[in-house]
Structure 1
Amino acid sequence: MNAISTDLRGTDIRLVVLDMAGTTVADDGLVEQAFQAAAGALGVEAGSPEHQRMLEHVRATMGESKISVFRHLFGAEEKAQRANIAFEQAYHDLVDAGHCAPIPGAAEAIAELRGQGRKVVLTTGFSRATQDQILKALGWQDIADLTLCPADAGRGRPFPDLALTALLRTGTDSVREMAVAGDTRYDMLTGTRAGASVVAGVLTGAHDAERLRADGATHVLGSIAELPALLAG
């Protein structure tokens, strides 16, 4: 564990908000593969300079709401929606084909966190349909107290809406009783903007420790499997 601050004495964490892809669910390059389908649906030729520019933006914005990414890339709302539909369908197909697995120790960590008396909420930048598809593929329909996507909250990452919606829906009394964990800078920004006491970055996904710290990580962990011990410590 590599942490900025490890002293949690006096901090009563009652709510843990966890990202999915890259944090609790192995991404395995699925986002980039699904993007290839989305770009193709909009007539962007694979290997072209435009395609490479777009792919670099997708990589840089891992964790952001996907429709927001496509609005940036394609401008017009109609094009962004077409790209998002193609992306979601491609991602569904990849999940159906078995390209989806939990991060080692993630299910056990979620069970341990709930066993410690904490509420656990899983969040994503994907649509509700895609989130449900992932949960079904993993057999995780009942693994958490609540699951949220951007449409449930108003805005996706890096805004604080997902974390604050989790707090409201679980009846948590204060933002200081909340921990937020994820693998991207957008997860860190969401946690800090929501006022969470613990904003934990994990090194199993998109961004490295330096990037996570720069955007507000209070702790950097090797994986989500280390989180229960941190909070219990």
Structure 2
Amino acid sequence: MTHDLQLIVLDMAGTTVADGGLVEQAFTAAARHLGEDPAGMIDHVRATMGESKISVFRHLFGDEARAQEANRAFEAAYAELLDGGSVTALPGARETIEELQRQGRTVVLTTGFARPTQDAILAALGWQDLVPLTLCPADAGGRGRPYPDMVLTAFLRTRKADSVDRIAVVGDTSYDMLSGVRAGAGLVAGVLTGAHDEEALRAAGASHVLENVAQLPGVLR
């Protein structure tokens, strides 16, 4: 039953946060930093939204050293773009998180970005103290989505859910859905405010597809 869900694992960019296309802009800067043409790679970047960024760079740039260099360039470019004020909370996102917590549920925010970028986004939004735990891939041993590691790390660290089937995982990409399914979450919900459409979300295992995250508290009541 949805009202029995105790732990809510929410994605950030595309689900609770709008960044105005900064991921693609930062990726373009990173590719050019490595002397690569980003035009032939951007489709892969769009298709893998939600996946750990270092995993994307390993696929695109091959060896580990170039992938790490690309990741550093990406994070630096994203941080610089953040200073322009492009990051905002999606409509109703903060209110949703607060309502879920009033319902007695624990909320954890997750991302495919590295910790410095996640912290910069949280600071830009004034969300540093909004939830008890935020996670990036490094916090879960280095494996981001589509692996279940961040979801299971949230489960283990918060100790707020009796079993994995009392977890809800919510995100805007097929990678979010896969991570929830693989973690055994009791509810895996996609939102249509980000990278992937309903067909992709359903194909990856979404049990619910919502127009936006603001609909989530009503689903869980």
Q: Where on the TM-score scale, by shorter chain, does this alignment land: which range?
A: over 0.9
Shift in Å at residue 52 of structure 1? 2.3
Give the Cα–Cα distance (whole angstroms) in 1 for the partners of residues 88 and 217 of structure 2.
20
Q: Are residue 18 (structure 1) and residue 7 (structure 2) matched?
A: no
Aligned to 1:125, what secondary structure does the other structure show?
A: coil
Residue number among 174, 181, 188 corresponding to 2:177 in the alignment? 188
Do residues 44 (structure 1) and 36 (structure 2) align? yes
How far did residue 65 of structure 1 move?
A: 0.1
Counterpart in 1 of 2:195?
206
Cα distance in 1 for residues equivalent to 2:84 and 2:192: 26
Q: Distance in 1 between matches of 2:22 and 2:195?
A: 12
For residues 167 and 35 of structure 1, the distance between their equivalents in structure 2, rounded to whole angstroms, comes to: 31
The 2-side partners of 1:33 and 1:219 are apart by 31
Residue deviations 1:94-142 (CA, integer Å, cap 9, x gap): 1111010000000000000000000000000000000000000000001
Once the two structures are TM-superposed, the CA of residue 27 in structure 1 deviates from its matched residue by: 2.8
Q: Distance in 2 between matches of 1:208 and 1:143?
A: 28
3-state SS, counterpart of residue 43 of structure 1:
coil
Identity over the aligned pairs, expressed in percent? 68
Deviation at 1:191, TM superposition (A): 0.4
Contact 1:27–1:205 (CA<8 Å) still a contact in 2? no
2:182 equivalent to 1:167: no
Contact 1:65–1:157 under 8 Å retained in 2: yes
Unaligned runs of 5+ in 2: none
Select which of 40, 43, 65 maps to 1:53. 40
**Following the alignment from structure 2 to structure 1, what is the Cα–Cα distance between the partners of residues 99 and 82?**
26
TM-score of the superposed pair, with normalisation by structure 1: 0.92
Taking structure 2 as the reference length, the TM-score comes to 0.97
Alignment of 1:1-233 (within 5 A): 8=1, 12-45=4-37, 51-154=38-141, 155-171=143-159, 172-232=161-221
Once superposed, which parts of structure 1, at least 4 consecutive aligned residues long, lie more than 3 Å away?
Answer: none
Please provide the CA RMSD for this pair.
0.9
